[in-house]
Amino acid sequence: MGILPKQVLSIAVLVSMAAASPAPKNGKPRWLVHYAPARVVNGSPVLFRISTPKKASSLSGKWLDHEVSFRFEPKSSEWFGLAGVSLETKPGVYQMELNAETASGQKLTYRQGIRVLRQRYPRITLTVAGRYTAPDPEQLKAIERDKQVKVEAFKTVSDDREWEGSFEAPVKADVSGLFGVQRVFNGTVQSTHQGLDFRVNTGTPVVAINSGTVLLAQSLYFEGNCVVIDHGQGLLSLYLHLSEIKVKPADRVAKGEEIGLSGGTGRATGPHLHLAVRWQGIYLNPEALLTLKFP
């Protein structure tokens, strides 16, 4: 992904799995809960790695009012599941609820608190065309249509996991805009940057960060030409401001497959690629997702 800023490198240092379980008692088998990154903040994706005290045939979890799906990995004899923390989550300890079942039907339950820390994000000022901060009635209609298109598309996400292994960057380029930054457009309109910007020229090939199914591939008012990929289990990746789209809805794409060319369409201050990651309705830091090591 090229030479990344210090913020990216600092996240990479934190991705080693953090043990979060109490010490064993009397040498008996126990639950083991590990997670990455070690420092969980608002906006973080979180990869959980779970060992159950008895061999389980299924495992499910709930954390921060979201259902967490787990998949068993025979090589490590552990269960892996992806979760996330919204930008609005306040600092505190939040209980993870785990429910497993053995082949014989025995129920196993466990609760453990996971601490979420506060991440402070900076604020920047940007200038864009007036129609993006003060749209006229016709433009407002287009914005509302686009909103409904996204609502309907997001309703159709797959429950089955489609991604395999770790996620890779959509382009090989420096990061030019960080997730979570508070933005002031034209001195009045404020928004939160819910993705990661890559510094690329118009026409740079953009690839899927992992395998999945194309959910949306069209031009939208703010997003410009955009592609949304459903990776399953509520996980989506969004690629905005493209100059050209090379896929269509329902296409199956592989990790690293080209899906379009970068550009500056929609509400953009210039050519770049905006990558966003959405999980069960909340936006997560793509930079952190790209550093996590999936089995």
Per-residue model confidence as pLDDT tens for the chain (295 residues): 343 444 443 434 344 456 555 555 566 789 999 999 999 999 999 999 999 999 999 999 999 999 999 999 999 999 999 999 999 999 999 999 999 999 999 999 999 999 999 998 877 776 667 666 677 788 888 888 888 988 888 887 788 999 999 999 999 999 998 998 886 766 665 678 899 999 999 999 999 999 999 999 999 998 999 999 999 999 999 999 999 999 999 999 999 999 999 999 998 889 999 999 999 999 999 999 999 999 9
CB 157 within 8 A of CB 236: yes
User: Which region holds residue 280: left if phi is over 0, alpha if psi is between -120 and 50, else beta?
Assistant: left
SS3 218: strand
Q: Which residues are bridge partners to 18 per DSSP? A: 35
Same CATH topology for 6-116 and 123-289?
no
- Amino acid, single-letter form, for residue 116: V
Q: Burial, 44: exposed, middle or buried (Cβ in 10 Å; 0-12, 13-18, 19+)?
A: buried
Rounded Cα gap, residues 96 and 98, in angstroms? 6
pLDDT at 188: 65
What pTM, to 2 d.p., does this model score? 0.86
pLDDT at 127: 67
CB 224 within 8 A of CB 240: yes
CB 266 within 8 A of CB 185: no
SS3 24: coil
Task: Answer yes or no: CATH 2.30.31.10 is held by domain 123-289.
Answer: no
pLDDT at 113: 97
Scanning the structure block, which residue is given the tokens 């933005």?
183
Residue 283, Cβ neighbours under 10 Å: how many?
A: 21
Provide the residue ranges of all domains of the chain, joining segments of one domain with +. 6-116, 123-289
DSSP 71-131: EEETTTTEEEEEEE--TTPPSEEEEEEEEEE-TT--EEEEEEEEEEB-----EEEE---GG
pLDDT at 137: 86
pLDDT at 70: 97
What is the fold, at CATH topology level, of the domain defined by 6-116?
Immunoglobulin-like (2.60.40)
pLDDT at 115: 98
